[in-house]
Amino acid sequence: MKKGLKLITLLAALALVAAACGGDDSGDTTTTTAAPTTTTTAGTSDATTTTTEPADMGPTTDVGVTAAPCDDAVNAGNGCIYLGVISDLTVGPFSALAIPAVGGLRAFWNDVNAGGGIEGFDVIVSPSNTIDAQYLPDLTVQGYTEIEPNVLMLAQSLGTSQTIAIRDRLVEDNVVAVPATWWSGWAFDESDGNGLVLEAGVNYCFEAMNDFDFALSQFGADMKYGIVGFPNDYGLDYGAGIRLAAAANSIGEAAVDIPQIPISLGGDVTEAVTQILANQLDVVFLTTGPFEMAGTLGGVVQNGGTTAFIGTHPTWNPALPLAVPDLVPALEALYFHSDWIPGWYGDSPGHTKAKAAAEAEEQSPNAWYINGWASQYPLKAIIEAAIANGDLTRAGVAGVVKTLDDVDYDGMIENEDYANTPDSAARASLINRVDATAPGGTVNLVPLGVGQTAAAHDFTESCGG
């Protein structure tokens, strides 16, 4: 009973984390959708204008683009391109990460507009085109129905199964979407709406392979390992990558393989903690949210375990050291954080711009702000190419995607090729460790690179999910 009370106390402390992160983003910048609607979102009716050409004979436009300036326009003489967001912004398992990520993507476009916009257009993500879908597929569909008439593209669609739920609609409507999800299926036309879902960085499957190589370097070929992950495309894809890596390296199966229901949906980490302790694992590969990561690691340590954890990038929340200070020694000693992009410690030109924007907004250091900023470079490239073609309609935008063979991320990650996937899919990831004194809470341990397992993998189909 005493051990159980320790775990319950820890989870109660973790409930404070969302509030700690939520203060970094203004609460009036999002709207919550709880029921479907067929009405046009207030304040963006001009964005539904049918095909027109601006008076200056600019590009042809239709949905989500107006010759009139944006509300509160930075450049009064510019037209306006409206983007939408469907995310997890209140009570879902990734809300503490999505809030700064949405802040980062908004800051990206604010920076673009401050520089004059793009060839006569400002680009905005307005509150009225921002949906809180709480990491639920049905609310994602409802939210898409609400904002689709108003936007040219989606600057974010959070969650794999959530984005899959609207994929057919994206194809039907010619809507390009940036997924806050790194499912390996997005590399294949049959899975990503013929390229309309435009991911950035390494997928979960290759991230898992690189993580497995790292674990081998730390614990050796006789390591006893487990897998704990959400039982959806996120967790299943990463878990499949771990199994493929184990087979490629002639390593046996996981001693523990546990589906973890998100705490926000009624899940409990007790079973994972119990099995990890009972099997005396060397390392656990984790695909959950930050609450589940901290609860599982904390429960193991509080009950005498010394198992290491390698968690995907959505498992880390920089508010954890402040919210649960007693957990910091265990995080610093036992938790390794994999990611697709350098965090707050990154020093690329793109990082410098993003961090300057965050400082101006009084946003505390947060890798998910960096993540949100970086995710928008493909959309900027699409807009530039579509305008150059004279066709800024949805069909014109969708037609540009397969020409993007060298998208520049301003040094944040390597340039990406969206024209020839899956062979060109990114395979590089990195490993961070926790340092509670560092801005953002992590420092780099293994730089961005491709492990031997991922490099040798024949990527002809999605790995799982």
Residue 42 has pLDDT above 60, yes or no: no
Residue 428 has pLDDT above 60, yes or no: yes
The residues pairing with 227 across neighbouring beta strands, listed in sequence order, are 257, 285
Distance (Å, rounded) from C-alpha 323 to C-alpha 156?
28
Residue 35 has pLDDT above 80, yes or no: no
Mean pLDDT of 411-420: 92
Place of tokens 């203004």: 26
Of 172, 168, 167, which is closest to residue 183 (Cα–Cα)? 167
The residues pairing with 433 across neighbouring beta strands, listed in sequence order, are 336, 443
pLDDT of amino acid 72 = 83
SS3 label, residue 326 = helix
15 is a domain residue: no
119, 180, 181, 227 from 232: Cα distances, Å: 41, 15, 12, 14
pLDDT of amino acid 451 = 97
108 is a domain residue: yes
Could you report the per-residue pLDDT of 184-206, keeping only the tens digit for each? 999 998 888 888 999 999 999 99
26 is a domain residue: no
Q: Are residues 299 and 246 in the same domain?
A: yes
Q: In what order do the strands lie in the sheet with 225-229?
A: 256-259, 225-229, 283-287, 308-311, 335-339, 429-434, 442-449
Q: Are residues 94 and 214 in the same domain?
A: no
Instruction: Report the CATH number at residue 106.
Output: 3.40.50.2300
Q: In whole numbers, what is the pLDDT of the chain averaged over residues?
A: 89
pLDDT of amino acid 255 = 97
Question: pTM surpassing 0.85?
Answer: yes
pLDDT of amino acid 8 = 42
Contact of 448 with 342, CB cutoff 8 Å: yes
Domain limits at 84? 33-201+346-403
pLDDT of amino acid 10 = 57
Distance (Å, rounded) from C-alpha 324 to C-alpha 288?
18
pLDDT of amino acid 12 = 46
pLDDT of amino acid 45 = 37
93, 355, 377 from 96: Cα distances, Å: 8, 19, 23
83, 340, 354, 355 from 364: Cα distances, Å: 25, 21, 12, 9
Question: Which residues, at least 6 apart from 87, have a Cβ–Cβ distance to it below 8 Å?
Answer: 30, 98, 101, 102, 130, 131, 132, 133, 156, 157, 158, 180
Q: Is 111 exposed, middle or buried (0-12, 13-18, 19+ CB in 10 A)?
A: middle
Query: How sure is the predictor about 424, in pLDDT bands with cuts at 50, 70 and 90?
Result: confident
Of 10, 180, 29, which is closest to residue 94 (Cα–Cα)? 180
Could you report the per-residue pLDDT of 226-277, keeping only the tens digit for each? 999 999 999 999 999 999 999 999 999 999 999 999 998 999 999 999 999 9
Mean pLDDT of 90-110: 95
Residue 28 has pLDDT above 80, yes or no: no
Query: How sure is the predictor about 26, in pLDDT bands with cuts at 50, 70 and 90?
Result: very low
Residue 294 has pLDDT above 70, yes or no: yes
Q: How many domains does the chain have?
A: 2
Question: Which residues, at least 6 apart from 361, have a Cβ–Cβ distance to it below 8 Å?
Answer: 103, 107
Q: Percentage of residues in the chain with pLDDT exceeding 70?
A: 88
Residue 326 has pLDDT above 80, yes or no: yes
Q: Are residues 181 and 54 in the same domain?
A: yes
Q: Are residues 393 and 274 in the same domain?
A: no
Q: Are residues 225 and 287 in the same domain?
A: yes
Query: How sure is the predictor about 109, in pLDDT bands with cuts at 50, 70 and 90?
Result: very high
Residue 24 has pLDDT above 50, yes or no: no
Query: How sure is the predictor about 56, in pLDDT bands with cuts at 50, 70 and 90?
Result: low
pLDDT of amino acid 52 = 45
Residue 343 has pLDDT above 80, yes or no: yes
7 is a domain residue: no
Residue 16 has pLDDT above 70, yes or no: no
409 is a domain residue: no
Distance (Å, rounded) from C-alpha 379 to C-alpha 155?
8
Contact of 149 with 126, CB cutoff 8 Å: no
